[in-house]
Chain A
């Protein structure tokens, strides 16, 4: 394998997007937790809700900052590393990205300042609205970027003239065939990621004896949110799978390592796919189940890899990533149910008394959302290869012409910076959890006033 510009660009883009996606996945979910904490505080005036809000606002700010700076990097990399992409699809991807910046970026960035530092300077109502707008902004951002990503997977509403894409029907472009499933799947993934982060870090605080009153509130809210979201996620994931089978059969063939087209295909629980021989070594199979899950029929037909010569994704990474995602999700389901089982009888207690094994399980799964999200992302993105726009435009034709050493140099720099930031981020979360600041009861509005000149 040559370390050429294309491969390096791919690695660089994958590195950037993998790093970037970690943080929006948290903030999209966490934003709504903050809205909930804030509303509960305004309703009950219980100090504990305020504590939960304070603590998680800080985590939000930290995650948001990392998401913003890596997001800016992404917006530049379209041009620096994939110039052909914008030249060919600019008429369609441009407006979608444009609307993201105009409607979402500014909204979240503008009101974040007021949400973080505005208390005492604005009324409680304005502050709540700011929190609400920040949460809405992050969600709106997901709407646009997933619309674009879905369009790349299931293009619709376009015309091609001289190899360049033109928009024919904007409604069909935005609401393309896979978009509703992808959006729902992502929003639930964000909810789960944030839920397990909140529950995990809170469990850690309980284990280490540094919990505040707010910890109990946050833990309970997070476990219940996870318990609601995870079954929904399985349901949406199933619908998403049906949709993918319809529009991207090669991706499904790779996910399941189905080599030849067959009816009543078995489900491969585990194995090691070998693309050279077109077989799966050490396969553990359940007869008929593959067809049943994917087509909802015992004898449904699954197309095999062999049907897509030169136009199917690499099998092994997609196959393994899919199993990691489903495996982590199953673990989430079990832990969430266990949590609800223990929490339900205590739902009116201010202080929770939970068994240590459960707390350890939750703490151990603090970053499980990240794992599942990344794995899912690889399934969908590697599964789209070798195309940038599915079936129409090949990734290999769009890469930059910048010399390989440049790409290698910047890749090394990004890897270093991202590594440092990831370690620091996790370290700081742990430090913050173990050294919670007990906030003073909130100053009534106007006490700080419009201080200064």
Chain B
């Protein structure tokens, strides 16, 4: 493989992993946002405190993901984002509401706090549903027919449900006492709807997209790929096993809920990546067709190769600093 063939592949991988990092990291933020109305006033503060130091950096992965799309695949960037014009705007307004609610709820005069709590929830819901819609629309190759619409709608519900479980898993790790017990109940209730929805989506994807069908159900790849759904199912039942046994959580195994949900996300992601490759806009553009000039990609390659490890390094440092149970956040 020549350098000019390798670079688009490299940036596709970077973009994919970046978006995966976003979905997992901001996924739990959005999940906590979706769960917010279920907590008491005091618990709302703790819930938000558990994500306060992280959300900003988590959200930046989205900027990098879109950034890579823009810098490495400028021709796909415009095509994709124009096709997703309305859901993208909806997501942006959701992210705006969520992002500013963090600060306004804590700093605005007390009577406005419930308003900003609602804005936090609404923003999280808008952003996660819009992301699901965008994903669905992307998988169907921007098919605006009835079936495509139904499929997008399905993912617009599934993704928030998955975020919800991720958020509950995060709270099980970061909270104590009553809030932790509530988070376990939320996870228990969210588990089956998410599982059923994921299953339905996985079954529907090959049906709405013929090329995906061929990729999965041909021989011999059917057997090579079998571990993906099997491990997914195992992870699902591992989550169920933990949330049904409070004693396990008391014994410090609560992180298994979050860990296994992340595993499901990772597997779903690789399944999706496998289905789409080598297209960047399904049925329209391959990643090599959409790529920027080799020279420009080389310039960015150097930047990514140097900075990405550094970014990952200080992200790990940040998580270590705020390791452990969440405490009320004050600036004092």
Contacts and interface: CB of A to CB of B under 8 A. Distances in A.
A5 to B, nearest CB: 11
B53 A68 contact: no
Interface in A65-79: 65-66, 68-73, 75-76, 78-79
Contacts of B68: 98
B66 interface: yes
18 contacts: A66-B100, A70-B96, A72-B62, A79-B82, A80-B84, A90-B292, A94-B300, A97-B67, A106-B307, A110-B57, A110-B314, A112-B56, A113-B56, A113-B321, A116-B331, A117-B53, A167-B293, A414-B93
Contacts of A417: 93, 96-97
B82 A80 contact: yes
Interface residues of B, number: 67
A71 to B, nearest CB: 8
A75 B299 contact: no
Interface of B: 52-54, 56-57, 59-60, 62-64, 66-72, 74-75, 77-82, 84-86, 88-89, 92-93, 95-97, 99-100, 102-104, 107-109, 292-293, 295-296, 299-300, 303-304, 307-308, 311, 314-315, 318, 321-327, 329, 331-332
Contacts of B318: 110-111, 113-114
Q: Mostly helix, strand, loop or mixed at chain A's interface?
A: helix
B80 A79 contact: yes
B108 A98 contact: no
Interface residues of A, number: 73
Nearest to A421: B100
Given A73-B96, A113-B52, A452-B324, A95 B332 contact: no
B174 to A, nearest CB: 9
A84 B104 CA distance: 37
Interface in A333-356: none
Given A114-B53, A432-B107, A452 B327 contact: yes
A261 interface: no
B56 A109 contact: yes
Q: Mostly helix, strand, loop or mixed at chain B's interface?
A: helix
A76 B80 CA distance: 11
A78 B324 CA distance: 40
A79 B77 contact: yes
Interface of A: 54, 57-58, 61-62, 64-66, 68-73, 75-76, 78-80, 83-84, 86-87, 90-92, 94-95, 97-99, 101-103, 105-106, 109-114, 116-118, 121-122, 166-167, 170, 400-402, 406, 409-410, 413-414, 417, 421, 424, 427-428, 431-432, 437, 439-440, 448, 450-453
A80 B85 contact: yes
A167 B299 contact: yes
A80 B77 CA distance: 9
B324 A105 contact: no
